[in-house]
Every structure is written in C-alpha cells, then in structure tokens.
Amino acid sequence: MNSDRRDFVLTAGKLLLLTAPAAAYLEAVESGKAEEPAYKTFEHYWGMIVDIEKCIGCGNCVRACKVENDVPLEPYFFRTWVERYHVEGAGEHPDVDSPDGGYNGFPEKYAAGDGAKSFFVPKLCNQCAHSPCTQVCPVGATFESPDGAVLVDKTYCLGCRYCVQACPYGCRFIDPRTNTVDKCNLCYHRITKGLTTACCESCPTGARQLVDLKDARDPVHEFLRTHKVHVLKPQMATGSKVFYNALDGSVR
Amino acid sequence: MNRFLKDKEHLFRMAALFAAGVVLFLIVRAVLVPKGFGVYGHYRAGALADNRVRAPRFAGRAACIECHTDEGDRLKGGKHAGVGCEACHGALAKHAADPSSLKPTKPDSKTLCQTCHLMNVAKPAKFPQIDPKSHMDGGPCLTCHDQHAPDKEPKK
C-alpha cells in the first residue's frame, strides 16, 4: 500500500512538471506557428515611463507611431498623442490643447512669463493590468497578454465599440479600413524582437522609456524608487503600467 | 420496479433528444470557438503571435551603428548622444535590411533643428531653445553647430 502511494506521488509530480511545457507546446501547435525561441512571453512584463520634465512636445513619437503602426493619417486616429497643458493656478481648470495630436508640433500659443505653468503630456494606452476595455469585450478580442501588453485580436474583433467607450483614457479608435478596433499595443512586434517601441526609439530627449518590470536589471526599478511617479486616473483602479514622472494634478 | 419502467419509451426518447442536443452543442462549439481559445485566458492564444508578425519600420539605433560606426563614435559623449538615429533620419528599416534598396534623404537641417529647439514656453526651461528671429538672424544651423555633436568642435 505504501509503495503504491509513493508511486502515485512520483508519477503525479512528474506529470505536474510536464504541464507547463505541454501547455506551451499545445499553444505553439494550435496557433500553427512555432514559438520563437528567443522570446519568452512569461519572462517579461512591459510598461512605460513618461518623464514630463523631459518632454519638449516635438511630436516625434506621434509621427513615428503613425509610420511604424500604419495608423491612418487623419488627425483623429492616434495610438499615441501629446497634449499641452496650461494651468493658471491651483484648482483652476487647465487649458488643454493638442493640435493634430501634436503631429506637427505645438505652435506657440502662450506668452512667456504669463504667470501660468505649461507642459506637455504624452499619452498612450496605459497597458492596464486590470483594464476596463478588456472586461467589456463580448468576444474576447482584446486582452491583457501574459507579458503585460493590452492587445487586440483583429481577426476576432466585431467592431462593436464597447471597448472604445470603456477606456477611461480615450486610447482606442475604430480603424476605418478594417472596421475593427486599434490601439497602442506597445509595438508588440518590436518589443518581442528585442527592439524598443517606435515612440521610444524616436524620442530625442528620452522622455519615454519602455520598461520591463520583470527584468531585475532594468533601470526602471531604480527610477521608480528614486522618483515621484504617478499614473493617470488612479481612482479608476485600472492598474496602469505607464508611470508618469512629475505629473501635475491637473492632468486627466 | 416494472411499475416505474412500464412507460419507459418516453424516457428513452427524452434521453435521445438530450444526447442529440449535447452533440449539437459540442459541434457548434467546436466550429465557433477558435483554436487556442482559453489557453492563457479568455482570448485566442494565437493572437499573441498575430500581433508579432508585422515587420518593424524603424530599424533601431543598434542596426544603424553597425555600419555607421563613425557617426556612432561622433555621437558618443555629446549632447545628442541619447538621440536615436531615426529620430532625425526617419524610419529606415528597409535601408538597414538592404542599403541599396533605399537611399535616405538628408533632412533639411533648419526645419529639423527647429522641430525640437524652437522656443516654446511649454518646453522644460532647461532645454536649449532659440528664437530664429534673434538667433543669428535665422541663419543655417550647421555653420556653427555639428548636428551629431552640437557641443563639440564642428567637424571640418
């Protein structure tokens, strides 16, 4: 009897160890594509740092994103855009503008020394860990990937627009060519190949940094310890993974 | 016992109907639910791979420096050391894959420099900004500045 139980535990233990590779193999077989050995989905957890104090509003990120991701050029389709805030005083409603999403930069609008503070805020999908947009999708066409990017399954999206309304940050749009939803996917085709995102690649001041929260050597951990960072709309409890340094309270 | 089973005919009919219903459900489910759905969560596992297939259009700094080592060295330690090559030169993955297929055009320095360095009150105060009206009468930037190392001696 005792040896039976011992055998059972040993066998069960071996089977348990095999579960993860078996699941990975199953996924590779079922998706019809072999897993690229270089990229291990479960060893990454992506996010981004946006440093307001470094953003100069040049619009490089907006232009680069449109090129890289084939975003329609009309000035109301954006995966990322830049806003300019002008805050006259504490508690005052801020004056916000974003001409063409910052695609052509920001023509000077305010006089120097007018007693108000002015700054740029780059916006993109916040890659929420508990994102409202994925929760409302009726068909499971948008989801939080195991490596922390919120992705869209274009072949499965109905174009029902629920997620567009659910996103508290306004980060989604319906691509008029396919009638399916599109959004920043953190350049998933790039970051899985070891490159950084197109916006980070072309940001001249390093105001945007792609970060891997699971990589112990990523400078993000040092940055988050030594800087006063904030996420957008923390009251929504979205688990945003885009951390803003020096974010003003007026930013929504 | 016989008393319960004397009208068993209708029970079999019900059971057969139920079995047919289950089979129909399984068939419809197999047809409608895509492959790999539910492996990681409430989505198609293959969508991860779908999101990865697209070819990058920005080659990335490392690819540029592989050939253009001189410019890479020039950038080092200068004020533009942190600026990616394609931030100014545009997306050039095509050129990086096959240099002869696409010859990059030289950016117009004046418009390009001003994209970043034009005066704007919303820019961080410590960022170098100029007003072209009062800065060298709006003359060409590269007469005095080296675009790749603006704080070093201009390259002859």
Q: Does residue A207 form part of some domain?
A: yes
Q: How confident is the model at residue A32 (pLDDT cuts 50, 70, 90)?
A: low
How many CB atoms are closer than 10 A to CB B129? Answer: 17
Pairing, β A46-51 against β A150-152: unpaired
The average confidence (pLDDT) of chain A is 91
pLDDT digits (tens, 9 = 90+) for A188-209: 999 999 999 999 999 999 999 9
Q: How confident is the model at residue A2 (pLDDT cuts 50, 70, 90)?
A: low
Q: Does residue A48 form part of some domain?
A: yes
Nearest one of B39, B79, B86 to B61, comparing CA atoms: B86
Q: Does residue A156 form part of some domain?
A: no
Q: Does residue A206 form part of some domain?
A: yes
Interface test with A, best of B39, B51, B102, B118 (most A CBs within 10 A): B51
User: Does one domain contain both A23 and A59?
Assistant: no
The average confidence (pLDDT) of chain B is 91
Judge: B46–A30 Cβ closer than 8 Å, yes or no: yes
Please report, as a single letter, which amino acid is at residue A77. F
Nearest one of B29, B43, B44 to A135, comparing CA atoms: B43
Q: Does residue A84 form part of some domain?
A: yes
Is residue B35 within 8 angstroms of chain A, CB to CB?
yes
Please report, as a single letter, which amino acid is at residue B78. G
Question: A20: domain range?
Answer: 2-35
Identify which has the larger pLDDT, B51 or A2.
B51
For residue B36, the chain A residues in CB contact (below 8 A) are: 27, 30-31
Judge: A108–B119 Cβ closer than 8 Å, yes or no: yes
Q: Does residue A159 form part of some domain?
A: no
Average pLDDT for residues B77-86, to the nearest whole number?
Answer: 94
Q: Does residue A13 form part of some domain?
A: yes
User: Does one domain contain both A238 and A120?
Assistant: yes
| CATH number of the domain to which A61 belongs | 3.30.70.20
Judge: A189–B55 Cβ closer than 8 Å, yes or no: yes
User: Does one domain contain both A214 and A123?
Assistant: yes
User: Does one domain contain both A66 and A105?
Assistant: yes
Q: How confident is the model at residue A3 (pLDDT cuts 50, 70, 90)?
A: low
Residue B139 is predicted with a pLDDT of 84
Domain count, chain A: 2
User: Does one domain contain both A12 and A120?
Assistant: no
Question: Cα separation of B117 and B129, whole Å?
Answer: 5
Tokens describing residue A219: 């400078």
Which residue is listed with tokens 């050039």? Answer: B92
Is residue B55 within 8 angstroms of chain A, CB to CB?
yes
Lowest mean pLDDT among A124-133, A161-170, A220-229, B32-41: B32-41
Residue A1 is predicted with a pLDDT of 46
pLDDT digits (tens, 9 = 90+) for A110-158: 998 888 999 999 999 999 999 999 999 999 999 999 999 999 999 999 9
pLDDT digits (tens, 9 = 90+) for A42-76: 999 999 999 999 999 999 999 999 999 999 999 99
User: Does one domain contain both A51 and A96?
Assistant: yes
Pairing, β A46-51 against β A242-245: parallel
Judge: A203–B84 Cβ closer than 8 Å, yes or no: yes
User: Does one domain contain both A95 and A206?
Assistant: yes
Question: Cα separation of A184 and A171, whole Å?
Answer: 8
Nearest one of A167, A71, A77, A170 to A128, comparing CA atoms: A167
Give the whole-number percent of chain B exceeding pLDDT 90: 73
pLDDT digits (tens, 9 = 90+) for B4-54: 677 788 889 999 999 999 999 999 999 999 889 999 999 999 999 999 999
pTM of the model: 0.85
